[in-house]
Chain A
Amino acid sequence: QVQLVQSGAEVKKPGASVKVSCKASEYTFTGYYLHWVRQAPGQGLEWMGWINPNGGGTNYAQKFQGRVTMTRDTSINTAYMELSRLKSDDTAVYYCSRDPYSAFPLTFYGMDVWGQGTTVTVSS
């Protein structure tokens, strides 16, 4: 069935980088935007940015600009989110989610499929 499968849990030291993958299956990978959303322990959802797999265009939340990089490999239907210069408050569950869209004007239809989440722990 349609699903997004993320890579496993990571433990990193402050100042390091982490790269999380998100593999899509059973749908046209380039037909949907992919968002990255994180959730710190006991906190709400926080949008980090999106990538358009069709062309690779990105839009990052201002908070993460300069620290996050979103890429994709269409040959294996996989998207990646790399976060650098990690701090303890980057400890969170990181989700990818797909979003149908219309291009002109850009209109989303809601994040209808989510990955299972990847726990990233930043600790010295």
Chain B
Amino acid sequence: SYELTQPPSVSVSPGQTARIPCSGDAFPKQYGYWYQQKPGQAPVLVIYKDSERLSGIPERFSGSSSGTTVTLTVSGVQAEDEADYYCQSADSSGTVVFGGGTKLTVL
């Protein structure tokens, strides 16, 4: 099995840029996906296939990949972006793994 590693927390002031990295041996061979989860709610897919933004997701959310790390970037962070963010990948047999999650705090 493989693991995905994320920082437990990231803090930024409103209007700044937040970057959340996710590292693992699955990358770059496999795609990375990002989910946003607010308290008491189901997760929401934000980014798929490393950098594709799901329809309806604000343009300030973007994804990128470099080597063994995928990164979620939130540009011009707003108070409503405060949430937990999880990266995810899958190997060639379809076995899925999630990162441990990152709590984004808007100061």
Binding site for B on A (CB under 8 A): 33, 35, 37, 44-47, 50, 59, 61-62, 95, 97, 105-112, 114-117
Contacts and interface: CB of A to CB of B under 8 A. Distances in A.
A44 B100 contact: yes
Contacts of B31: 107-108
A59 B95 contact: yes
Interface residues of B, number: 27
Interface stretch (B12-20, B40-48, B65-73): B40-48
Interface of B: 1, 31, 33, 35, 37, 42-45, 47-49, 54, 84, 86, 88, 90, 92-101
A109 B43 contact: no
Given A59-B95, A108-B90, A110-B54, A95 B42 contact: yes
Contact of B43 (A45, A59, A62, A107): A45
Contacts of B33: 108, 110-111
Contacts, number: 66
A111 B94 contact: no
Nearest to B102: A44
Contacts of B45: 110-112
Given A45-B43, A106-B94, A112-B48, 13 more contacts: A37-B98, A44-B98, A47-B96, A50-B94, A95-B42, A97-B43, A108-B90, A110-B47, A110-B48, A111-B43, A112-B54, A114-B43, A116-B42
Nearest to A4: B42
A119 B77 CA distance: 32
B47 to A, nearest CB: 8
Contacts of A45: 35, 37, 43, 86, 88, 98, 101
